[in-house]
Chains A and B, each alone.
Chain A
Amino acid sequence: MTITFQILTALAFLLSCRVYLVLPTSCHPKPPRRYSNKCSLAIFLGSGGHTSEALMLTSALDLTRYAPRTYIISEGDTLSAKKAIAFEIHLQAAEPTPQDYRILRIPRARRVHQSLLTVPPTFMHSLLACIHLVTISPLLGRGTIGAPFVDLLILNGPGTCVTLCAAIVLNKLIGLPSPKMIYVESFARVESLSLTGRILRHVVDRFIVQWPGLLSADGREECYGCLV
Chain B
Amino acid sequence: MLVFVTVGSTKFDSLVQAAISELVIAALRNKGYTQVILQRGNSDLTTDGGGFGQDPLTIRKDGMEVETWKFKPSIQNDIERADLVISHAGSGTILDVLRSGKPLIVVPNPTLLDNHQEELASELSNLGHLRATSTHDLAETIASFDPGTLIPFPPFDGSKFRRLVDEEMGFI
Name 14 extra pairs, CB < 8 A, besides A182-B165, A190-B123, A227-B160.
A34-B169, A34-B171, A49-B90, A49-B92, A60-B158, A152-B169, A187-B95, A188-B120, A190-B119, A190-B120, A192-B116, A205-B168, A206-B168, A222-B164
In whole Å, how far is B112's beta carbon from the nearest beta carbon of chain A?
12
User: Does A96 interact with chain B (Cβ within 8 Å)?
Assistant: no
Q: Could you pull out 13 A-B pairs where Cβ atoms are within 8 angstroms?
A: A31-B170, A33-B170, A49-B90, A61-B161, A152-B168, A182-B164, A187-B91, A188-B116, A189-B119, A190-B116, A192-B119, A226-B154, A227-B161
Q: How far is A208 from B167 in the complex, measured between Cα atoms in Å?
A: 14
Residues in A with CB closer than 8 Å to B170 are 31-34
Number of residues from A at the complex interface, CB < 8 A: 40
User: Does A44 interact with chain B (Cβ within 8 Å)?
Assistant: no
Known: A61-B162, A225-B160. A188 touches B91 (CB 8 A): yes
Q: How far is A78 from B123 in the complex, measured between Cα atoms in Å?
A: 33
User: Does A5 interact with chain B (Cβ within 8 Å)?
Assistant: no
- Report whether over half of chain A's contact residues are helix, strand or loop; otherwise say mixed: loop
User: Does A129 interact with chain B (Cβ within 8 Å)?
Assistant: no
Residue of A nearest to B118 (CB): A190
- Report whether over half of chain B's contact residues are helix, strand or loop; otherwise say mixed: helix
Contact partner, A189, options B90, B116, B168, Cβ 8 Å: B116
Q: How far is A32 from B158 in the complex, measured between Cα atoms in Å?
A: 24
Residue of A nearest to B9 (CB): A48
Cβ–Cβ contact B164 & A224, under 8 A: yes
Which residues of A (37-92) have their CB < 8 Å from a CB of B? Answer: 39, 48-49, 52, 56-57, 59-62, 65-66
User: Does B34 interact with chain A (Cβ within 8 Å)?
Assistant: no
Which residues of chain A have a CB within 8 Å of any CB of chain B? Answer: 28, 31-34, 39, 48-49, 52, 56-57, 59-62, 65-66, 151-152, 154, 180, 182, 184, 186-192, 205-206, 208, 211, 222, 224-228
User: Does B54 interact with chain A (Cβ within 8 Å)?
Assistant: no
Give 1 or 0 for each of B129-172: 1 = CB within 8 Å of chain A CB: 00000000000000000000000001010111110111011110
Residues in A with CB closer than 8 Å to B158 are 59-61
Q: How far is A57 from B164 in the complex, measured between Cα atoms in Å?
A: 11
Q: How far is A205 from B164 in the complex, measured between Cα atoms in Å?
A: 12
Which residues of B (68-96) have their CB < 8 Å from a CB of A? Answer: 90-92, 95
Residues in B with CB closer than 8 Å to A180 are 168-169
Residue of B nearest to A181 (CB): B168
In whole Å, how far is A210's beta carbon from the nearest beta carbon of chain B?
10
User: Does B42 interact with chain A (Cβ within 8 Å)?
Assistant: no
Residue of B nearest to A35 (CB): B170
Q: How far is A132 from B165 in the complex, measured between Cα atoms in Å?
A: 26
Residues in A with CB closer than 8 Å to B164 are 182, 206, 208, 222, 224
